Amino acid sequence: MSEPDPGLLSLNTATVRQQWTLPQIIDGCARHGIRGIAPWRDQVATAGLKETAARIRDAGLVVSGLCRGGMFPATDREGRRAALDDNRRAVDEALALRAQCLVLVVGGLPKSRDGKIESKDLAGAREMVRDGIGELLLYARDAGMPLAIEPLHPMYAADRACVNTMEHANDLCDELGPGLGLAVDAYHVWWDPHLEREIERAGGANPSRLLAYHICDWLVPTTDLLTDRGMMGDGVIDLRLLRSWMEAAGFRGCHEVEIFSANNWWKRDPDEVLATCKARHLECS
């Protein structure tokens, strides 16, 4: 298996969000020769949408995705409508940034307005997700913005995303039709015994559903459910094998590095982090 094309490396801005502002991250990508970026909406809001779009364009960066829409389930109709309104704004922002897709972290069990989980009805949450994506799709299709469901690791089923397997995401794509695809994040799906089959299934759809590919690594031990993700090569995921499956399924898009790491990478010099991302992308992914 050959090394990946360094030109496909993209930086999810969460990777250095503790150290740098979004303008600093954009400049950092340009300085390090990283050709792709995937910003988060809160950072975009802080830096300004137009200013950010212009700065990314000037830096010549590809936007491999905007993070994120989703969070559809809510305990009442108003909460679900508010989520949908916010998702439509996310589509608009993704368009303004010329993002390749809007990434959807679909949400977990229904929460009340103050963020408390109020229900144990997981099947019901999954219906709310299906209905929410279905409604958002009407808007996103008109706008020409692809929506990428990101199946999250099952340890986030309660509070972040109740779509936890590629199969479930593919099933949603089957049901809801065009304009919808997947963001495959190695961290979330590496354990799945059906991973190769479901990547193939997603890539075999017409058009391909493989809209985004996120990489990092699973550390052993993992000390925190949220913020202890590893740099490629520091954990147990066979990232080269996973890339080979993505490529065999026809994926030619960016390899987006997304690392939440409170005790390691978020504490380092961000220039060192970017240089390490570049090196490890070549060596280990």
Among 88, 98, 130, 168, which residue sits at the site for its own copies (rule: CB under 8 A)? 168
- Show the site string, 89-118: x = touches its own copies by CB under 8 A, - = not: --------------------x-------x-
Q: Which of residues 187-246 bind its own copies (CB under 8 A)?
A: 190-193, 218, 220-223, 225, 235-238, 241
Beta carbon of residue 244, minimum distance to its own copies (angstroms, whole number): 13
Which residues does residue 74 pair with via DSSP β-bridges, in sequence order? 111
Amino acid at 201: R
Beta carbon of residue 190, minimum distance to its own copies (angstroms, whole number): 8
Beta carbon of residue 157, minimum distance to its own copies (angstroms, whole number): 4
CB of 99 or CB of 169, closer to its own copies: 169
Residue 4: DSSP 8-state: P
From the list 9-17, 87-95, 152-160, 263-271, the region that binds its own copies by CB under 8 A is 152-160
Among 164, 170, 276, 285, which residue sits at the site for its own copies (rule: CB under 8 A)? 164
Asked whether position 157 contacts its own copies by CB under 8 A, the answer is yes
Beta carbon of residue 155, minimum distance to its own copies (angstroms, whole number): 5
Which residues lie closer than 8 Å to 160 by C-beta, 6 or more apart? 105, 107, 108, 152
Sheet with strand 9-12: strands edge to edge: 62-63, 36-38, 9-12, 255-257, 210-215, 180-185, 147-149, 102-105, 66-70
Beta carbon of residue 222, minimum distance to its own copies (angstroms, whole number): 6
The C-alpha R_g of the chain, in whole angstroms, comes to: 18
Longest dimension (CA), the chain: 51
Token representation of residue 233: 């090569």
Query: Nearest 5°: CA angle at 33, between 262 and 58?
Result: 100
CA distance 149 to 105: 7
Beta carbon of residue 173, minimum distance to its own copies (angstroms, whole number): 15
Alpha helices in the chain (DSSP H): 22-32, 41-47, 49-59, 77-96, 122-143, 166-176, 186-189, 195-204, 239-248, 270-284
Asked whether position 262 contacts its own copies by CB under 8 A, the answer is no
Contact residues toward its own copies (CB under 8 A) are 109, 117, 120-122, 126, 153-155, 157-159, 162, 164-165, 168, 190-193, 218, 220-223, 225, 235-238, 241
